[in-house]
Amino acid sequence: MPTELTCIICPNGCHLTVDDNLNVTGNKCPRGVAYGKQEVTDPRRTITTTVRTNSKTFAVCPVKTREAVAKKLIFKVMEEANKTTIAVPVHIGDVVVKDIAGSGTDLVATRDIEE
Protein backbone atom coordinates (compact mmCIF):
# COMPACT_ATOMS: atom_id res chain seq x y z
CA MET A 1 0.00 0.00 0.00
CA PRO A 2 1.36 3.47 -0.88
CA THR A 3 2.48 5.63 2.05
CA GLU A 4 1.64 9.32 2.19
CA LEU A 5 4.36 11.52 3.69
CA THR A 6 5.22 15.16 4.23
CA CYS A 7 8.81 15.75 3.22
CA ILE A 8 10.75 17.41 6.05
CA ILE A 9 14.00 18.08 4.20
CA CYS A 10 13.28 21.72 3.54
CA PRO A 11 10.52 24.22 4.31
CA ASN A 12 8.68 23.42 1.05
CA GLY A 13 7.18 20.43 2.87
CA CYS A 14 6.25 18.52 -0.30
CA HIS A 15 3.45 16.00 -0.09
CA LEU A 16 5.06 12.69 -1.10
CA THR A 17 3.59 9.33 -2.03
CA VAL A 18 5.84 6.28 -1.76
CA ASP A 19 4.54 3.07 -3.36
CA ASP A 20 5.46 -0.52 -2.46
CA ASN A 21 8.35 -0.51 -4.96
CA LEU A 22 9.75 2.62 -3.30
CA ASN A 23 8.80 4.88 -6.19
CA VAL A 24 8.43 8.43 -4.89
CA THR A 25 6.08 10.99 -6.43
CA GLY A 26 5.02 14.51 -5.41
CA ASN A 27 8.58 15.74 -4.80
CA LYS A 28 9.87 19.04 -6.16
CA CYS A 29 13.54 18.05 -5.91
CA PRO A 30 15.69 14.88 -5.87
CA ARG A 31 16.18 15.12 -2.12
CA GLY A 32 12.51 14.26 -1.74
CA VAL A 33 13.10 10.90 -3.44
CA ALA A 34 15.91 10.05 -1.05
CA TYR A 35 13.85 11.20 1.93
CA GLY A 36 10.76 9.21 0.85
CA LYS A 37 12.75 5.98 0.49
CA GLN A 38 14.60 6.53 3.75
CA GLU A 39 11.45 7.42 5.70
CA VAL A 40 9.64 4.26 4.65
CA THR A 41 12.57 1.89 5.21
CA ASP A 42 14.58 3.46 8.07
CA PRO A 43 13.25 6.78 9.43
CA ARG A 44 15.93 9.12 10.80
CA ARG A 45 16.06 12.53 12.46
CA THR A 46 18.76 15.03 13.27
CA ILE A 47 18.46 15.81 16.98
CA THR A 48 19.16 19.30 18.25
CA THR A 49 19.28 20.01 21.97
CA THR A 50 21.55 21.58 24.58
CA VAL A 51 24.14 20.34 27.09
CA ARG A 52 25.24 22.02 30.31
CA THR A 53 28.53 23.98 30.34
CA ASN A 54 30.97 25.31 32.92
CA SER A 55 30.90 28.69 31.14
CA LYS A 56 30.33 31.91 33.09
CA THR A 57 28.10 33.34 30.41
CA PHE A 58 26.26 30.42 28.82
CA ALA A 59 24.39 27.98 31.07
CA VAL A 60 23.93 25.63 28.12
CA CYS A 61 25.55 25.04 24.74
CA PRO A 62 23.42 24.07 21.72
CA VAL A 63 24.38 20.75 20.09
CA LYS A 64 23.24 18.49 17.26
CA THR A 65 23.82 14.99 16.01
CA ARG A 66 26.23 15.34 13.10
CA GLU A 67 24.10 12.94 11.03
CA ALA A 68 20.48 11.94 11.38
CA VAL A 69 19.96 9.10 13.87
CA ALA A 70 17.39 6.30 13.83
CA LYS A 71 14.07 7.64 15.07
CA LYS A 72 13.85 5.01 17.80
CA LEU A 73 17.09 6.35 19.35
CA ILE A 74 15.76 9.90 19.83
CA PHE A 75 15.04 9.62 23.55
CA LYS A 76 18.22 7.65 24.24
CA VAL A 77 20.22 10.46 22.62
CA MET A 78 18.37 12.97 24.79
CA GLU A 79 19.10 10.97 27.93
CA GLU A 80 22.84 10.92 27.22
CA ALA A 81 22.91 14.59 26.24
CA ASN A 82 21.19 15.54 29.49
CA LYS A 83 23.89 13.73 31.50
CA THR A 84 26.64 15.67 29.75
CA THR A 85 28.45 18.81 30.92
CA ILE A 86 31.11 20.29 28.65
CA ALA A 87 34.11 22.44 29.47
CA VAL A 88 34.64 25.69 27.56
CA PRO A 89 36.15 26.87 25.30
CA VAL A 90 34.10 24.96 22.78
CA HIS A 91 33.74 25.56 19.06
CA ILE A 92 31.23 24.70 16.37
CA GLY A 93 31.78 21.11 15.24
CA ASP A 94 33.67 20.01 18.38
CA VAL A 95 32.64 16.52 19.42
CA VAL A 96 30.63 16.63 22.65
CA VAL A 97 29.69 12.93 22.87
CA LYS A 98 31.32 10.41 20.54
CA ASP A 99 28.98 7.83 18.93
CA ILE A 100 26.08 9.02 21.05
CA ALA A 101 23.68 6.28 22.20
CA GLY A 102 25.46 3.86 19.89
CA SER A 103 23.93 5.69 16.93
CA GLY A 104 27.15 5.72 14.93
CA THR A 105 27.22 9.51 14.84
CA ASP A 106 28.64 12.15 17.19
CA LEU A 107 26.92 14.87 19.16
CA VAL A 108 28.68 18.12 18.17
CA ALA A 109 28.59 21.71 19.42
CA THR A 110 26.74 24.31 17.33
CA ARG A 111 27.95 27.44 19.13
CA ASP A 112 31.36 28.94 19.82
CA ILE A 113 31.77 29.63 23.54
CA GLU A 114 35.13 31.10 24.54
CA GLU A 115 34.72 31.43 28.30
> Which position among 19, 42, 99, 112 is part of the footprint of other proteins (CB under 8 A)?
112
> Which position among 78, 84, 88, 95 is part of the footprint of other proteins (CB under 8 A)?
78
- Calpha distance 36→13 (Å, rounded): 12
- Calpha distance 4→6 (Å, rounded): 7
Residue type, 79: E
42: Cα within 13 Å, side-chain hemisphere: 5
Minimum gap (Å) between residue 19 Cβ and other proteins: 19
Minimum gap (Å) between residue 89 Cβ and other proteins: 14
Task: Please identify, using beta-carbon distances, which residue of 15 and 83 lies nearer to other proteins.
Answer: 15
- 89 binds other proteins, rule: CB under 8 A: no
Paired residues of 5 in beta bridges = 16
> Which position among 34, 37, 64, 70 is part of the footprint of other proteins (CB under 8 A)?
64
